[in-house]
A = this chain, B = another copy of it.
Amino acid sequence: MSRTPHHPTREQIELPMVLDCLSDPTRLAIVYQLAQQERVSSELRCGDFNALSGKSNLAYHFAKLRECGLMQTRIVGTSRLMRLRREDLEARFPGLLDAVIKSAAKDADRLQLMSECDVVEVD
């Protein structure tokens, strides 16, 4: 297990990879939830997404989201804290992330996004 997962630099973020990442319902739900959380803490743990799929499948999607530059992972103890790379994405593709998140919000009932109460805040 590498100490720090690999992340692309801002300039290495590619549009087709980002769109492909966002096109998967599970990953879109992850990104959406991270965006919702931004108002509160901007970071979530892997376990906060357990309602979406099994652990190993989530790890697969987390890796994809990291590799395409959508999110960043920080290791803290036995947990990994993840956040959206908002600034980098906004610099590379202005308005794109917001447009996707707003579109997802509009279709929240169609997409199997987690409900707000599925995310339990740790005190």
> Does residue A25 face the partner (Cβ distance < 8 Å to B)?
yes
A22 within 8 Å of B (CB atoms): yes
In A1-46, the 8 Å CB interface with B consists of 14-17, 19-20, 22-25, 28
Residues of B within 8 A of A110 (CB): 14
Interface check A94, CB cutoff 8 A: yes
How many copies of this kind of chain does the complex include?
A: 2
Contacting pair A19 B100 (CB below 8 A): yes
Stretch from A58-66, A74-82, A101-109 contacting the other chain: A101-109
A111 at the interface (CB under 8 A from B): yes
Across the interface, do B96 and A103 meet the contact criterion of CB distance under 8 Å?
yes
> How far is the CB of A70 from the nearest CB of chain B, in Å?
12
In the complex, A102 Cα to B90 Cα: how many Å?
12
Tell me if A86 is interfacial: C-beta within 8 Å of chain B.
no
